[in-house]
Amino acid sequence: MSVAEITPDGRTLGGTLMDMRNITLRFGGVTAIKDISFDIREGEIRAIIGPNGAGKSSMLNVISGFYNPQEGEVWFRGDKRGPMRPYQVARLGIARTFQNIALFDGMSVLDNIMTGRLTHTKSGILDQAIWWGKAQREEIAHREKVEEIIDFLEIQRIRKTPVGRLPYGLKKRVELARALAAEPKLLLLDEPMAGMNVEEKEDMSRYILDVNDEFGTTVALIEHDMGVVMDLSDRVVVMDYGRKIGDGTPDEVRGNQDVIDAYLGVSHD
Ligand SMILES: Nc1ncnc2c1ncn2[C@@H]1O[C@H](COP(=O)(O)OP(=O)(O)OP(=O)(O)O)[C@@H](O)[C@H]1O
């Protein structure tokens, strides 16, 4: 495991949180990921970028435990991870947002965010029936955490609004809030800026940076648009046709000829 390191801009990166080793993922005859290795360090913002069909979503789904690769190993917090159910992934401390926002439209913002606390709920139905006090204390603690997140993401004024009535940018912020309610060690963001205007992208970037700074949450995100992640990320993995073609700081990646070619659509044969 690597040791802590101070980046040139004074940020502290911890040891290895997640280690992807020689990952290969196939769908029938299609190889979506070909022998890719990279790590995610504690406290960093790590982006995975690449053109259409590069394999980014497939990679995010391997990180989140939704897909199990045919080859390679996934290590998280020092342990090798096998196939997992979604609730097991959540208990490990991994939360995510989705590209096509996955919220309950008819429920209020507050109630949607409360669903993010489910993995932290200890009292069962029996507790709630027999030992009401314990369940009530737990509920109050969850509400406090949720209110803290609501303040942090500045969504107080819409806390009672049904999510279905919100504009796109705010829905994305509520989804981020719900993921944060799980108090994840690793936060996965699936194209957090997709479909946003410039102002909404700037807001989202600021919230991601603040979350990382304030809560110390490690962030891994996939993005189609190379520009928006360059200011945000500590390190960037670049994928193209299922392969890793670049890995490094934003400056290193920007100067990488393979990356430039991939984004300009230079032919591969
Ligand atoms: N469930 C699936 N079944 C079959 N093929 C798939 C599946 N998911 C992805 N693929 C294929 O794997 C390759 C990588 O797709 P993936 O969606 O991971 O790329 P991406 O970089 O996320 O693309 P985009 O930016 O367009 O979302 C593509 O050729 C895609 O058609």
Q: CATH number of the domain that 233 lies in?
A: 3.40.50.300
Same domain, 74 and 27: yes
Dmax (CA) of the chain: 69
258 inside domain? yes
* Atom number of ligand 1 nearest to Cα 222: 22
Same domain, 211 and 254: yes
Torsion, Cα of 121, 122, 124, 126 (10° steps): -140
- What pLDDT is recorded for position 84? 84
| Overall average pLDDT of the 141-145 stretch | 84
Q: Is 186 in the pocket of ligand 1 (CB under 6 A)?
A: no
Same domain, 2 and 68: yes
**What is the distance between the alpha carbons of residues 48 and 50, in angstroms, rounded to a whole number?**
7
Residue 25 tokens read as 């993922």
1 pLDDT more than 50: no
Q: Whose CA is nearest to atom 29 of ligand 1?
A: 53
| Overall average pLDDT of the 25-48 stretch | 96
**Which residues face 13 on adjacent strands?**
5
Domain boundary residue, one of 140, 157, 183: 183
Q: Whose CA is nearest to atom 4 of ligand 1?
A: 27
**What is the distance between the alpha carbons of residues 16 and 76, in angstroms, rounded to a whole number?**
8
- Which has the closest alpha carbon to 96: 179, 168, 40, 171? 179
ipTM at complex level: 0.96
Domain boundary residue, one of 183, 198, 221: 183
Domain boundary residue, one of 162, 183, 204: 183
- What pLDDT is recorded for position 122? 59
Q: Whose CA is nearest to atom 13 of ligand 1?
A: 32
Beta strand ranges found along 143-217 (DSSP E): 186-190
Residue 60 tokens read as 């995010």
Sign of the torsion angle spanned by Cα atoms 199, 173, 234, 100: negative
53 pLDDT more than 80: yes
Q: What share of the chain is helix, strand, coil (3-state, %, to 5)?
A: 40, 25, 35
Confidence of residue 138 (pLDDT cuts 50, 70, 90): confident
The residue that leads in pLDDT, 129 or 119, is: 119
- What pLDDT digit, counting tens, does each position of 54-85 carry? 999 999 999 999 999 999 999 999 999 988 88
In Å, what is the CA distance from 61 to each residue of 56, 68, 70? 9, 8, 13
From the CA of 241, how far away is ligand 1's center (Å)? 10
Q: Report yes or no: 67 and 28 within 8 Å, Cβ to Cβ.
A: no
Same domain, 113 and 79: no
Helix or strand (DSSP H, E) at 250: helix 250-254
42 inside domain? yes
Domain that holds residue 153: 106-183
Same domain, 88 and 127: no
**What is the distance between the alpha carbons of residues 139 and 84, in angstroms, rounded to a whole number?**
28
**What is the distance between the alpha carbons of residues 203 and 207, in angstroms, rounded to a whole number?**
6
| Overall average pLDDT of the 240-268 stretch | 87
98 inside domain? no
Give the DSSP letter string of 55-90: SHHHHHHHHTTSS--SEEEEEETTEEE-S--HHHHH
- Give the chain's mean pLDDT: 88
How many domains does one find in the chain?
Answer: 2
Same domain, 268 and 203: yes
220 inside domain? yes
Q: Whose CA is nearest to atom 2 of ligand 1?
A: 27
Confidence of residue 232 (pLDDT cuts 50, 70, 90): very high
Q: Is 225 in the pocket of ligand 1 (CB under 6 A)?
A: no
* Atom number of ligand 1 nearest to Cα 61: 18
> Cα-flanking dihedrals φ and ψ of residue 88, to 5°?
-70, -40
- What pLDDT digit, counting tens, does each position of 160-210 carry? 999 999 998 899 999 999 999 999 999 999 999 888 888 889 999 999 999
Q: Whose CA is nearest to atom 18 of ligand 1?
A: 55
- Which has the closest alpha carbon to 37: 51, 23, 49, 25? 23
Please compute Rg for the chain using Cα positions: 19
